[in-house]
Structure formats: structure tokens, C-alpha cells
């Protein structure tokens, strides 16, 4: 028998009655009956289907539209815990933004010897086209999703900083709507902080970053790759909620030095483009020439101050996993403070010594691709078979620069509803931060992702993960 690791359960703690933030909920839950809740669960699923909260799975022709499973037991965070997390996130977001400005300008961090020059120069996500460019309001990371995990009562770690185009916020909002719809009485018993202001905040935050060329009220648009993209629902949802146009590359062109959209009354200039298209596809004239998703010449308009692109091109370097390992230094260098939120200790496999350690301990570590996302291309050592480990060893040895490794964390659990009652499953948390020249605005809570398979540590929706409503309690 292998040792079963002891995980921190957020509802029950060490096991003697519910933890404080869950008390009111558990009292309510005790009066409920499992069969009724399971029925509610089906009701929620039907609701999601009707609304069309679906995502597409690449390479799965039979299931072009799937639901992300929703678990109706909320994940609850105390006001005190949230105060610390949001402070830590704000600090981190500001540091990332300053870092991005720096690496595309004077690279003080390299001059100061705090980061090797090749970390930037050799990084695939570094965009030379952004050198010397200052985005409107000097904001690079308009929207950041910071992935957090918890391992104990006061132990939080940042797993990743998603600074390109973090997704999932529509689930945060729809999950809350669904809970309000299904359990209105619960919200009169437990005082939960609202998340519904997010679209308005997003609109305000993006508008505050409008370029100099903007006349009058900023005109916003969301750029989507189209209805076949896995996150199309979210793109449409956000455009709708903040009264922006939902555009695709073929709706746009450069007209008189502005990026303009084809309307029923001719071309009209866009001031702020919230793009959900990767840098590489943004501009066939400046990047990938085969891209059909972008706008030819948009980068030239951008550099001339004719449009705001959110997030700014080139921010991808900040969610690179090798850069991640420098985050404690980055935070300290730009804010002059110690990082409030901890990093997971990270081995950069580009370093021969670290590589040796990683290769010797593959069965205990989590190894990730530096540019990977969505839970693809990673190895979870303790959960992998010998064969999988050996296959991964070959990939790692062939291209060590491409990987980082981290200890396998004992991720906290929160119960989900099963036919046999409550059962603990591992979770993570992605809060969403909005940055404008004036402020960093963090919606209380975020998206809780949950691994639905017992014991699994992979919470990604593309790998069978689900989501939960996340409650931050009122003080």
C-alpha cells in the first residue's frame, strides 16, 4: 500500500467539524437531501446547455460542443483569506506590468544582474516588434488570471500567471447566476460578495486605456477567432455583457490609420480591441503571414498610437514558466517589497544541475512545458506509469530548455456532490485582475476548477475538470 498523502480539505480542515467559512453552508447542507441536490445538479446542466455555456474540444469531432461539468457545492473563502490573496495578486500584477515595460525598454532587470539576458532574448514569447513601444496608459496586462493553489490553512502558492488571454471568467459569472437561480435561500443565509460587476469593470478598465486617437466615448470590440474556437461562448458573452462588438479578423481592416470594423453603415474606427487571438495570429503583415484570424497592419496602427490592444502584444513572455521561476525577484525588483504570494519552487531544466535532479526524481515531480497551457504536454510524476515516465524522460533529455519541474503539491480539496454524498476533490483557483492606469481591480473569488476524478490533480477542463462557484464571504 502506498502512503496516502494527507490533503488539506477546505471544508473540513483536519476533520473535527467544518472550518469557520463553511459553517453556515454546512448547516444549510445538513437540512438538504442528496437526491434533491442531484436533481438540482441535472437542472443546472440543462440550464447550461440551454444558455449554450459550452466549449469545443480540439480534435474531438464527436463532441464539438461540450459542457464543463458544474459542481454545486461552492468553494468558500473567508474575508481575511481573500484580503491577503487580493493584496498579493495586486502586487504581482503591478510587478508583471512593470517587468513588461522594462524588458521592452531599458531592461534594467538584466542590467542589474537579476535576470540573465538570454532569458529574454532567447524567449519565443518575446516580441522584438514591441521594443520601444509604450502602450496607451502604459498598461500591458489589462486582464490577468492568476492561478493559485492551496496546501494548508495559510499556505497559498501561485502556480501560473496568465497574462496573455486568460479565459474562464464567463464560467465564474454563469456559475454564480446558476447558484442564485437554484438556491436563492442560501444567499440570504450566507453573505457572499458579488461578482456580477465584472463586465462593467472590464468595460471601464478597458475604456480607461483608450488611445490618444480616441474621440469621445471609446468604442470597444472583442476579437474572436470565431465560432469554432473553444472559448467562443466566452467571447460572445463578454462582448454582450459589456456592449462591445464581437468581431473577427475579416470584419476589420486598417482605414486612415485606424483599425476599423465593417458596419452596416461603412467602416468605423475601434479604440480598444480586447483580443482573444494569440500574438502570432494578430497581424499577418507583422507576424504569421498565413494567419486568417488577424488584421493586416494592426501592429503598425498600434505602434502609432491608433488603437489599444488588450492584452498588449508580447505579454506572453510574462506567463512563460521559465520567467515564472524569477517572479519573487521580479516582484522585489519592481515593487521594492517581498512577494506576498509564494511561488512554487521551480527547477529550470535548462540548468544542467537542475536537469540532473529532475531526471533522477521524475516519479515525484510535475514537469511542464515552458510555453504549455491547458494541462497538455505535462507529466505528473506520482500519477504516471513507468512507461509514461520513460517516454517523458526522452522528450525532456532531447529539449531540456523547454521544461521546468516542480514538486508535486498536496493540493487542497473541496467536496463535490456525488451519488454517495460529498467526496473531496482537488481544486485550484483563478482570480481575475483588471489593470487600468488608475487601479488594479480584482473580482472577489474567481474561477475554481476541480478535478472530478478521485485523486486526480489535473483540473483543466480540457482534461475532464469541472468548475465550482467561488464565494468570498463578506467581512
- Residues within the interface to another protein (CB under 8 A): 49-52, 227, 232, 236, 239-240, 245-248, 250-251, 261-266
Q: How far apart are CA 320 and CA 164, in angstroms?
A: 10
Name the residue nearer to another protein (CB basis): 8 or 233: 233
Contacts of 142 (CB under 8 A, 6+ apart): 205, 206, 209, 274, 310, 311, 312, 434, 435, 436
Output 67 or 110, the one with its CB closest to another protein.
67
Smallest distance, Å, CB 266 to another protein? 7
Minimum CB separation of residue 46 from another protein in Å reads 10
Nearer to another protein, 209 or 239 (CB): 239
**CA–CA separation, 32 vs 412, rounded Å?**
25
Q: Which secondary-structure segment (H or E) carries 241?
A: helix 232-241
User: Could you tell me which residues are beta bridge partners of residue 250?
Assistant: none
Residue 464: burial class (beta carbons within 10 Å; 0-12, 13-18, 19+): middle
How many CA atoms lie less than 13 Å away from 435 in the CB half-sphere? 25
Q: Minimal distance in Å, beta carbon 260 to another protein? A: 11
HSE at residue 223, side-chain half, CA atoms within 13 A, is: 31
Q: CB of 229: closest distance to another protein in angstroms?
A: 11
- Closest to another protein by CB, 77 vs 295, is 295
In angstroms, give the least distance from the CB of 468 to another protein: 24
Q: How many CB atoms lie within 10 A of CB 154?
A: 9
**Residue 404: which of 345, 360, 462, 318 has the closest Cα?**
345
Report the residue number, 51 or 121, with the smaller CB distance to another protein.
Answer: 51
The least CB distance from residue 236 to another protein, in Å, is 4
Nearer to another protein, 200 or 439 (CB): 200
Amino acid at each position: 500500500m502506498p502512503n496516502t498523502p494527507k490533503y488539506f480539505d477546505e471544508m473540513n480542515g483536519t476533520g473535527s467539524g467544518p472550518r469557520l467559512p463553511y459553517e453556515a453552508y454546512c448547516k444549510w447542507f445538513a437540512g438538504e437531501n442528496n437526491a434533491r441536490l442531484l436533481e438540482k445538479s441535472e437542472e443546472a446542466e440543462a440550464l447550461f446547455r440551454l444558455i449554450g455555456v459550452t466549449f469545443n474540444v480540439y480534435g474531438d469531432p464527436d463532441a464539438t460542443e461540450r459542457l464543463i461539468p458544474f459542481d454545486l457545492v461552492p468553494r468558500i473563502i473567508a474575508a481575511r483569506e481573500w484580503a491577503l490573496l487580493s493584496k498579493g495578486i495586486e502586487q504581482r500584477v503591478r510587478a508583471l506590468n512593470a517587468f513588461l515595460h522594462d524588458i521592452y525598454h531599458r531592461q534594467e532587470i538584466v542590467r542589474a544582474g537579476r535576470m540573465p539576458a538570454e532569458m529574454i532574448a532567447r524567449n519565443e514569447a518575446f516580441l522584438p516588434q514591441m521594443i520601444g513601444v509604450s502602450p496607451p496608459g502604459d498598461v500591458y496586462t489589462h486582464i490577468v488570471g492568476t492561478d493559485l493553489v492551496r496546501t494548508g490553512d495559510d499556505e497559498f502558492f501561485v502556480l501560473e500567471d496568465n497574462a496573455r488571454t486568460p479565459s474562464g471568467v464567463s464560467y465564474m459569472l454563469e456559475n454564480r447566476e446558476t447558484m442564485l437561480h437554484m438556491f436563492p435561500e442560501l444567499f440570504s443565509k450566507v453573505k457572499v460578495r458579488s461578482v456580477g460587476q465584472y463586465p462593467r469593470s472590464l468595460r471601464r478598465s478597458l475604456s480607461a486605456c483608450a488611445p490618444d486617437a480616441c474621440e469621445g466615448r471609446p468604442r470597444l470590440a472583442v476579437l474572436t477567432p470565431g465560432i469554432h474556437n473553444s472559448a467562443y461562448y466566452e467571447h460572445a458573452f463578454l462582448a454582450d455583457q459589456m456592449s462591445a462588438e464581437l468581431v473577427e479578423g475579416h470584419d476589420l481592416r486598417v482605414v486612415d490609420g485606424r483599425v476599423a470594423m465593417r458596419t452596416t453603415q461603412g467602416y468605423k474606427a475601434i479604440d480598444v480591441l480586447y483580443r482573444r487571438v494569440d500574438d502570432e495570429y494578430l497581424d499577418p503583415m507583422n507576424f504569421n503571414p498565413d494567419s486568417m484570424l488577424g488584421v493586416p497592419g494592426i501592429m503598425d496602427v498600434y505602434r502609432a498610437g491608433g488603437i489599444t490592444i488588450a492584452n498588449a502584444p508580447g505579454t506572453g513572455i510574462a506567463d512563460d514558466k521559465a520567467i515564472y521561476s524569477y517572479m519573487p525577484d521580479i516582484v522585489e525588483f519592481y515593487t521594492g517589497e517581498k512577494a506576498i504570494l509564494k511561488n512554487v519552487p521551480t527547477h529550470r531544466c535548462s540548468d544542467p544541475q537542475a536537469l540532473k535532479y529532475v531526471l533522477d526524481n521524475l516519479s515525484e515531480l510535475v514537469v511542464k512545458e515552458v510555453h504549455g497551457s491547458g494541462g497538455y504536454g505535462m507529466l505528473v510524476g506520482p500519477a504516471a506509469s513507468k512507461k509514461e515516465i520513460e517516454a517523458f524522460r526522452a522528450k525532456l533529455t532531447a529539449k531540456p530548455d523547454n521544461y521546468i519541474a516542480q514538486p508535486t503539491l498536496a493540493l487542497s480539496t473541496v467536496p463535490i456532490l456525488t451519488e454517495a454524498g460529498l467526496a473531496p476533490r482537488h481544486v485550484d483557483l483563478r482570480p481575475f485582475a483588471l489593470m487600468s492606469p488608475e487601479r488594479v481591480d480584482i473580482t472577489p473569488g474567481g474561477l475554481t476548477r476541480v478535478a472530478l476524478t478521485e485523486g486526480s490533480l489535473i483540473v483543466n477542463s480540457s482534461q475532464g475538470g469541472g468548475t465550482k462557484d467561488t464565494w468570498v464571504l463578506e467581512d
